[in-house]
Amino acid sequence: MKKITYILPLLLVLLNFSCASSKIEKPKKQEVMPTEDINKMPAAEEAPIIKFKKPEVFKLPNGLTVILVENHKLPRVNASLRIDNPPIKLGNKKGSDILLSALLGSGSKNMNKDEFNKKIDFYGANVNLYDGGFSINSLSKYFPEILKLTADQALNPQFSQEEFNKEQEKLIESLKSSEKSTPAAADRVMTKLAYGEHPYGEVASVQTVENVQLKDVQDYYNKTFNPNNAYLIVVGDINSEDVKKMAEQNFAQWPKAGRLPEAKLPAIKNVPATEVDFVHMPNADQSEIKVVQRSDIRKNNPDYQKVLLMNAILGGDFNSYLNMTLRENHGWTYGARSHFDTDKFGGLFKASTSVRNTVADSAVVVTLDQINKIRNEKVDPKVLYNNKQKYLGHFVLQMEKPATIANQAYDIFINNLPEDYYETFLQKIEAVSVDDIQQVAQKYLHPDKARIIVAGNANTTVPGLKKAGYKVNFFDKYGQPAKPPKMNQKIPDGITTQTVINKYITALGGTEIIKNLKSIKQIYEGNMQNIQLKMTSAAMAPNKSLSQMEAMGMILSKEVFDGKTARQSIQGQNKPVKPEEVEKMKQTPQPIPELNLIKNGHLDRIADFDENEYYVIIDKDGTEYFFNTQTGLKDKAVKHIKMQGREISQPILYKDYKAVDGFKIPGKIIIVNGPQSIELILKNAEINTLKDSDFK
């Protein structure tokens, strides 16, 4: 069966291009710095003075605070309602909050969902309602009507059983579909373990969502959706008198709650000593790693600006310690980041990355090394200076946005900040010293008390973690303690590479079918980001092959080998084929290249994924082939590709085998690229119809 792996780099480029949202700009000509100044630190500059436009603030008798920032440059208004109540525990009814977000906007006592949506569409507005408030973006001339409609949906909801049933079913299906997602599992387990008994530690599951009744959603709404700690933030082309009038008309009758949710919350605790909390994901070819601990920094803390810069140097910026070491130096990941939560009700520090399973243990060690580095070594003054300049530029640019002023006013209210907090912000940033960075790193980073959440394949990851000296605890996908999975199973006596391939031949159709198999041609079609794809592969004994990828009727790539010479073209441009690649093609038996594994592969291990067990054979190039121990068929291959100096794991899944003239061919091929995947469906297959001329 013709391999498709040679076209993967092109597909990856196409997939990444189709997902890209950033513009590529022509680089500007750089000025040449005088030689004597290259190693000289720039002199410290005074932080720029930002002129702040004070927002207008007023309060309704029911407790609703209105924050207004006028900006008449464009005829638009942005508004949001935010409710600043402490979180509450939902227990076995977790999911009530998610369902409330889904149901708000599905109809009020005065207007049904269809009529509401038609009016919003007619006015060309964007409206989003959720369990903690709503957001609006509209033309200023329509804003009064949009605010009236949205406030009615938020304050007078008519929760119907029919809508509830629909949203509950959708949420359950979403949770089920995410259960095989390694990033989703890592997030759930991190949330559950790191927050502990805190309300933020609750995660919705299929079981908890199935427990939720319509009355639970109504009760949650009545308990949390109130004006006592609510803020209406309005920014745009509108004046204060009109906003006051609209606020009173739409929100004055919103009843004040007699009793708010309990503000006393359980503490978030660190572990006594560093431990690895592992989630076994048999399907995973990459591991999600999260180093996590309690965050003790808040915006009203005098150390906040110091921690902001310290984290930028550690993992908050592209040029940070973590990203440059894990991505640039080792080539293990596309990115590594760190972040301090500042939520006043409780937060975490997180350093996270995604790497292939085989280097996960090393990535954990390096991540902790970089955290210890910023604790134990003083940062380069140039690095601190550059990060200050980046933050200064970002801050100044953000200040040009009216929404920034409103959000800062909201921050001041909910975090109990002084009125001049943002006016003096840049001066505090500029005052941070090298010693300050080390001091706050030692104060707020505790790698010796951190949880290391790893979600990946235990077979290839856990042995290295244990060898590195880490205690490893096992958990299921929802953070419940689990038994260690079966790892490194002994290959039974008598099972060899030869016997695995023999069983594969039998599964494909048997020795007689294979003996008479002279050629195969397959056509697969699929869709990627609304781009129509067509893949044609052909192979003919003893070693002829052809592969072609088309997108929207245009040939993206083509490779032809006639048994002696190879031709390759990319988007119409001929590309030379390396002599070693030509030699490899000569030695590859067609139309079943897996036969080559008998002499060029070795049986490495028994692995499991999708609740099945597999014999894993690795060839000389490091590609892994997964043969189902029960059916004998090849269900998966993992190609390790070097791109831009980095090596990434590229899984290919083979599913729904179909018999064509007695020979089994995958009815579906899935090429996985991180969270994205390309699904190709077999449209046509021909056996023994090709001629030598087809490979010219």
- The architecture (CATH level 2) of 490-695 comes to Clam (2.50)
Please write the tens of the pLDDT for every residue from 493-533. 999 999 999 999 999 999 999 999 999 999 999 988 788 99
Q: How far is CA 84 from CA 95, 129, 130, 193, 343, in A?
A: 19, 15, 13, 25, 11
Q: In this predicted model, what pLDDT tens digit does every residue of 387-436 receive, in sequence order?
A: 999 998 888 888 878 788 888 989 998 998 998 899 899 999 999 999 99
Judge whether residue 45 has pLDDT over 80: no
* Reported confidence tier of residue 49, pLDDT bands at 50, 70, 90: low
Q: How far apart are CA 444 and CA 434, in angstroms?
A: 16
Read off the pLDDT of residues 204-220 as tens digits, 9 standing for 90 and up.
999 999 999 999 999 99
Each residue of 362-388: pLDDT tens digit?
999 999 999 999 999 999 999 999 999
pLDDT at position 94 over 90: yes
pLDDT beyond 60 at 22? no
**Residue 48: pLDDT band with limits 50, 70, 90:** low
Cis check for the bond before 381: say yes or no (omega within 30 of 0). no
Length of the chain counted residue by residue: 696
| Per-residue exposure over 517-548, b if at least 16 CB sit within 10 Å of its own CB, e if not | bebbbbbbbbebeeeebbbbbbbbbebbbbbb
Question: Which of 538, 291, 310, 547 has its CA nearest to residue 443?
Answer: 310
- In the predicted structure, residue 31 carries a pLDDT above the cut 70: no
- Return all residues near 186 (Cβ < 8 A) that are at least 6 apart: 279, 288, 289, 290, 453, 454, 455
Task: Using pLDDT thresholds of 50, 70 and 90, give the confidence band for residue 42.
Answer: low
Q: Where are the domains of the chain?
A: 56-251, 267-475, 490-695
Q: What is the pLDDT of residue 665?
A: 96
**Helix residue spans in 297-359 (DSSP H):** 304-311, 321-323
The number of C-alpha atoms within 13 Å of 92 and in the hemisphere containing its C-beta is: 3
End-to-end CA distance of the chain: 20
Confirm or reject CATH 3.40.50.1370 for domain 267-475, answering yes or no. Answer: no
Residue 481 identity (one-letter amino acid): P
Preceding omega of 576 cis (within 30 degrees of 0): no
Residue 23: pLDDT band by 50, 70, 90 thresholds?
very low
Residue 325 per-residue DSSP state: I
Helix H, strand E, coil C: the string for 7-21 is HHHHHHHHHHHHHCC
SS3 313: helix
Q: Does domain 56-251 have CATH number 3.30.830.10?
A: yes
**Cα torsion through 46, 52, 415, 196, rounded to 10:** -70
For residue 607, what pLDDT is reported?
82
Residue reference for tokens 């119809």: 689
Beta strands in 84-183 (DSSP E): 126-130, 133-139
The answer to whether the CB of 489 falls within 8 A of the CB of 608 is no
Per-chain mean pLDDT for the chain: 89
537 beta partners: 522, 547
Confidence at 488, pLDDT banded by 50, 70, 90? low
321-327: long-range contacts at Cβ-Cβ below 8 A with a sequence spacing of 24 or more?
A: 321/370, 321/373, 321/374, 322/351, 322/353, 322/367, 322/370, 325/366, 325/370, 326/353, 326/355, 326/363, 326/366, 326/367, 327/646
Token pair belonging to 655: 């599913």
Cα–Cα dist 151/172, whole Å: 29
Tens-place pLDDT, residues 527-582: 887 889 999 999 999 999 999 999 988 999 999 999 999 999 998 888 899 999 99
56-251 and 267-475 have identical folds: yes
Q: How do residues 119-142 score in pLDDT, each as one tens digit?
A: 999 999 999 999 999 999 999 999
The Cα 636–Cα 670 span in angstroms is 9
CB contact at 8 A, 230 and 83: yes
Pairwise CA distance, residues 614 & 608, whole Å: 6
